[in-house]
Every structure is written in C-alpha cells, then in structure tokens.
C-alpha cells in the first residue's frame, strides 16, 4: 500500500488519504466512530503495530498526553496522582477490551 507521512507526522494511505493507524485500529477492534481517537501507546506515531494502538475518547486521550486541565492541576499538586490516573485509564481500557474480545470470539 503506498503511504506517506503527513505534516503531523502520521502515516496516511496515499490513495484514500486515510490515517493508517485509524484503519488498523478499526480492523483490530471492529469499530471506530469519528469521535474515537487512536492513541499510540509507545508515543511513536509511526509504530502502527495493532498492539501499539488503543481507542480512547477525546478526554481520555487528553489526560494521557497531559493536556487535560483537571489532571494538569492534580499533577501540580502531586505528580504521582496524575500518573496513577493515567495508569488506571490504561488498565481499565485493557480490562474492557479483553472482556469485549473474549465475548465476541
């Protein structure tokens, strides 16, 4: 599949212009709404290994990247609290996903 890196550093399908990590996430999880955001777990935008991708809401995604105001405030109070919140979200998401996967298989 011909691909190129866009100005934001993401790989896109050269024929459809679709973001490749979004199509891979849709294929892996079987769903992806336009509001869903796809997160690269290792923070490498070019690592589109299916296991490196997770589907998050905008708020969850902002929290993980430290862009959410509430978490930023808590980070200022105590950094450990912020990272505990991030870990919980990742943990809960993985739990949810593994139960979803076992139900559908």
CA dihedral 38, 43, 47, 50 (to 10 degrees): -40
Q: Which of 12, 22, 39, 82 binds Zn ion (CB under 5 A)?
A: 39
Q: Site for Zn ion (CB under 5 A): how many residues? A: 1
Q: What is the closest distance, in whole angstroms, from the C-beta atom of residue 54 to Zn ion in the complex?
A: 8
Q: Which residue has the tokens 């109070």?
A: 77
Q: What is the closest distance, in whole angstroms, from the C-beta atom of residue 46 to Zn ion in the complex?
A: 13
Q: Which residue has the tokens 């995604």?
A: 61
Alpha-helical (H) ranges within the chain are 20-29, 58-64, 69-77, 79-104
Using CB under 5 A, which of the segments 9-17, 24-32, 35-43, 82-90 binds Zn ion? Answer: 35-43
Q: What is the closest distance, in whole angstroms, from the C-beta atom of residue 63 to Zn ion in the complex?
A: 10
Binding site for Zn ion (CB under 5 A): 39
């Amino acid at each position: 599949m011909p691909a190129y890196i866009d100005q934001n550093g993401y790989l896109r399908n050269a024929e459809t212009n679709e973001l490749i990590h979004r199509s891979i996430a849709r294929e892996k999880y079987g769903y992806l709404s336009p509001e869903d955001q796809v997160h690269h777990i290792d923070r490498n935008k070019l690592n589109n290994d299916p296991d490196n991708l997770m589907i998050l809401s905008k708020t969850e995604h902002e929290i993980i990247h430290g862009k959410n105001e509430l978490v930023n405030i808590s980070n200022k109070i105590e950094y450990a609290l912020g990272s505990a919140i991030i870990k919980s979200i990742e943990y809960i998401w993985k739990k949810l996903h593994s139960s979803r996967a076992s139900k559908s298989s």
